[in-house]
Amino acid sequence: MFEFKVEAESGPARAGTLSLPHGTVETPVFMPVGTQGTVRALSPADLRAAGATLVLANTYHLHVRPGEQVVEKLGALHRFMSWDRPLLTDSGGFQVFSLEGFRRVDDDGVEFQSHLDGGRRTLTPERATEIQWVLGADIAMAFDHVVPGGADQPTARDAMERTLRWLQRCRKRHEELRASHDNQSLWPILQGGTHLELRTEGLRRILELGTWTGLAIGGLSVGEPKAVMYDMLERLEPKLPAIPRYLMGVGFPEDLVAAVERGVDLFDCVAPTRNGRNGSAFTPDGPVNIRNAEHREDPQPLDATCDCETCTTFSRGYLRHLFMAGELLGLKLLSLHNVRYLIRLAGEMRAAIRRSAFGPWAAEWRRRYLHSGSA
Amino acid sequence: MFEFKVEAESGPARAGTLSLPHGTVETPVFMPVGTQGTVRALSPADLRAAGATLVLANTYHLHVRPGEQVVEKLGALHRFMSWDRPLLTDSGGFQVFSLEGFRRVDDDGVEFQSHLDGGRRTLTPERATEIQWVLGADIAMAFDHVVPGGADQPTARDAMERTLRWLQRCRKRHEELRASHDNQSLWPILQGGTHLELRTEGLRRILELGTWTGLAIGGLSVGEPKAVMYDMLERLEPKLPAIPRYLMGVGFPEDLVAAVERGVDLFDCVAPTRNGRNGSAFTPDGPVNIRNAEHREDPQPLDATCDCETCTTFSRGYLRHLFMAGELLGLKLLSLHNVRYLIRLAGEMRAAIRRSAFGPWAAEWRRRYLHSGSA
């Protein structure tokens, strides 16, 4: 359990297999996001049909509603949401630092306002670890202090230092909890904003704290220019150990390709479902807005290369009708396609890596997706 | 095609088989309503899984959006909505008489305001017939003049006389259109409000106009007391020919049982999906509101007797969470269960009729559903 094998490499891009208590995950992998214990508009059967192997759920959201005690009473997170494949929970750090409203940080933890009832609550490294233990995902994340993408060096250092101190407390609590059975692994989150020297130092200090079965890179894709994120990944890559690397909150198809090219293995993002609900679909030729009038009488599928229920069953004209008519089925069908698109994209990258041809594959993919070979 | 065989009777209750161009329908049958060419929140795969054989779509809604020409360009209604089993379209009569806004009726037809853009449109018996021919459902309905449940005798007579005159024009246009191929059957709608003598006369005059492959009873379940509807059905039943009898817009589980008991074969209603989206579920022990606090930590299925995805996969506690959290999946799961519930209910009635035991079955069903044997 918690074993990761790199099976093929093509430059920094890697194809691997991650063994977890609830199953095996082939990487690169895209994780659909089940914020409230459900991937919006999709059922577990839909997710299986889309080929999802690893799903993310948000500790913050489940903590405030229905509460981890309710999830525990209903058999812990896997059974609660009827997902028998691997799960990952984030720590709540990102949410308490990004949601609006009152927030007070000290070294003990964060006092914040629930977005539901405005009530004051506190998360500490220990509490975040305990809640995730109760939820029972295969992978839990360490509680971290996230700063905005443009944070200056002293602010970013302060948050990084706190995140490192909290990591030790998370690890201690996690070790205590898992003394009896080894069902969950804790992954650290590397912070440091857009400051390479902080990221490099943070990475060194995380690795000095012990061995880990995986490592997340947080605090990117939070408002900084994409070139900055790509550059950061490129410079960090040679220093990263062989364990799985999870780039949090990323992303769009072009981001997945660029990040895999720079050695990243795992991704999560709400983009496929959020964009899907807005009528925006990923296709090999770039995004399509299904509401556009050009699709009104179009009998073709959304994406002729796709094997999902949406693309094998319905015309663009019908999908447009569903959106123009405000029908719920449209929200599901585009969400399903977009999730399937990213999972297939990860699969295509894996195949290209295995035939040692990631570079040419990526160039051809970009030529078609971006209508240019340069982005 | 368009053949109906009564296979078993148990009092006035009948079990039959209706052969249509797109397949066979076993009666009694409940038709889910796909108002805008989609049964709200459910995919064709969901409907097949729920056991739906016959689905209704609304001519008025498809006429105003996307327009029957668009549906035609996309391969007509079956292909448009990806439903390869039988379809029935209503005539638009009910909608133009029940939607708010301007309306002017004369003998030619009805001028009304589109609920979408307020634009003036006209439906005549010929137009309603032509639109339904273009949509291409297995069964089309005659264009009718619907009056409110409490309409007085002169008002109800006026509407019934007009409906009879329109029926002849619908039939003439329909015969012209189907001269080349016999893919659609036109059913008349019996009106007459709550006035038995009007209903009796209307029925006689419909049958004098020719032979029909089915007959609809409209203008009930529109505000009058339920006892009035049941009484009307009971008095009409001995006068009805052996063709399929379709009670439009009905209904709730107790209405289906009462109407089958009085010789009705087909039903449609938005209740299972509308109530489902409101968190209300049909169960053998009566309706359940899944939002109620009692379900918070309940690990049991919504309906332990049900074989649908919702009941075989999720706990009441999880379903409640989905509704409290405003998650789209909840809307689908309760809609799916409610549709499956009514389809199973129709199947149970069919089985009871075939073993000549409808009476005892209905008494037992009511005892459990209504917690009393009298309703």
DSSP string across B91-144: -SHHHHHHSSS-EEE-SS-EEEE-TTT--EEEE-HHHHHHHHHHHT-SEEE---
Asked if residue B101 has pLDDT above 90, the reply is no
The alpha carbon of B329 is separated from its chain's Cα centroid by a whole number of angstroms, namely 25
Q: Are B339 and B52 within 8 A, CB to CB? A: yes
Rounded mean pLDDT, A46-57 = 98
Asked if residue A344 has pLDDT above 60, the reply is yes
Residue A374's pLDDT band, with cuts at 50, 70 and 90, is very low
What are B118-137's pLDDT values in tens digits? 999 999 999 999 999 999 99
> Of B271, B280, B244, which is closest to residue B259 (Cα–Cα)?
B244
The alpha carbon of B331 is separated from its chain's Cα centroid by a whole number of angstroms, namely 21
Catalytic: A46?
no
The answer to whether B327 contacts A45, with C-beta atoms less than 8 Å apart, is no
pLDDT given for residue A99 in this prediction: 81
Rounded mean pLDDT, B40-66 = 98
CA distance A276 to A337: 8
Rounded mean pLDDT, A235-264 = 97
CA distance B219 to B233: 12
Rounded mean pLDDT, A189-196 = 95
Q: How many CB atoms lie within 10 A of CB B115?
A: 15
Contacts with A325 (C-beta within 8 Å, 6 or more apart), sequence order? B36, B38, B65, B66
pLDDT given for residue B287 in this prediction: 97
Rounded mean pLDDT, A92-114 = 91
Q: Which helix (H) or strand (E) holds A16?
A: strand A13-20
pLDDT given for residue B149 in this prediction: 83
Asked if residue B374 has pLDDT above 70, the reply is no
Catalytic: A307?
no
B37 and chain A in contact, CB less than 8 A:
yes
pLDDT given for residue B58 in this prediction: 97
Q: What's the whole-number average pLDDT of chain B?
A: 96
Asked if residue A318 has pLDDT above 80, the reply is yes
**Residue B250, both tokens:** 């009905």
Asked if residue A375 has pLDDT above 70, the reply is no
CA distance B231 to B282: 25
The answer to whether A299 contacts B41, with C-beta atoms less than 8 Å apart, is no
Residue A181's pLDDT band, with cuts at 50, 70 and 90, is confident
Phi, psi of A335 (to 5 degrees): -60, -45
B44 and chain A in contact, CB less than 8 A:
yes
Question: Using CB atoms within 10 A of its CB, is residue B121 exposed (0-12), middle (13-18) or buried (19+)?
Answer: middle
Residue A305's pLDDT band, with cuts at 50, 70 and 90, is very high
B148 and chain A in contact, CB less than 8 A:
no
The answer to whether B45 contacts A327, with C-beta atoms less than 8 Å apart, is no
pLDDT given for residue B265 in this prediction: 98
The answer to whether A74 contacts B44, with C-beta atoms less than 8 Å apart, is no
Q: Are B219 and B246 within 8 A, CB to CB? A: no
Phi, psi of A268 (to 5 degrees): -145, 150
Contacts with B40 (C-beta within 8 Å, 6 or more apart), sequence order? A327, A328, A329, B270, B273, B274, B277, B335
Is-above-0.90 flag for pTM?
yes
What residues of chain A lie within 8 A of the CB of B65, using their CB? 321, 324-325
Q: Are A277 and A42 within 8 A, CB to CB? A: no
Rounded mean pLDDT, A267-294 = 98
Asked if residue B373 has pLDDT above 50, the reply is no
> Closest-CA residue in chain B for A320?
B66
> Of B256, B316, B328, which is closest to residue B292 (Cα–Cα)?
B316
Catalytic pick from B138, B255, B268, B303? Answer: B268
Name the H helices within chain B: 44-49, 59-64, 68-73, 76-81, 93-98, 125-135, 153-177, 196-208, 226-236, 253-261, 271-277, 309-313, 316-324, 328-354, 358-369
What residues of chain B lie within 8 A of the CB of A80, using their CB? 315, 317-318, 321
Share of chain A above pLDDT 70, in %: 99
Q: Are A123 and A112 within 8 A, CB to CB? A: yes
What are B4-27's pLDDT values in tens digits? 999 999 999 999 999 999 999 999
**Residue A223, both tokens:** 């408002």
Rounded mean pLDDT, A350-363 = 98
B178-208 in b/e burial notation, b at 16+ Cβ within 10 A? eeeeebbbbbbbbbbbbbeebbebbbeebbe
| Closest CB to B73 among A70, A297, A331 | A297
Residue A373's pLDDT band, with cuts at 50, 70 and 90, is very low
B75 and chain A in contact, CB less than 8 A:
yes
| Closest CB to A315 among B42, B74, B321 | B74
Q: What's the whole-number average pLDDT of chain A?
A: 96
How is the beta sheet containing A245-247 ordered, strand by strand?
A29-31, A266-268, A245-247, A215-217, A189-190
CB under 8 A, 24+ apart: contacts of B361-369: B362/B257, B362/B261, B365/B257, B365/B284, B366/B254, B366/B257, B368/B284, B368/B285, B369/B253, B369/B254, B369/B284, B369/B285, B369/B286
pLDDT given for residue A1 in this prediction: 82
> Closest-CA residue in chain A for B321?
A66
CA angle B234–B239–B242, rounded 5-degree value: 100
Asked if residue B115 has pLDDT above 80, the reply is yes
Residue A24's pLDDT band, with cuts at 50, 70 and 90, is very high
Is the pLDDT higher at A304 or at A221?
A: A304
Q: ipTM more than 0.95? A: yes
pLDDT given for residue A223 in this prediction: 86
Residue A13's pLDDT band, with cuts at 50, 70 and 90, is very high
Q: How many CB atoms lie within 10 A of CB B344?
A: 20
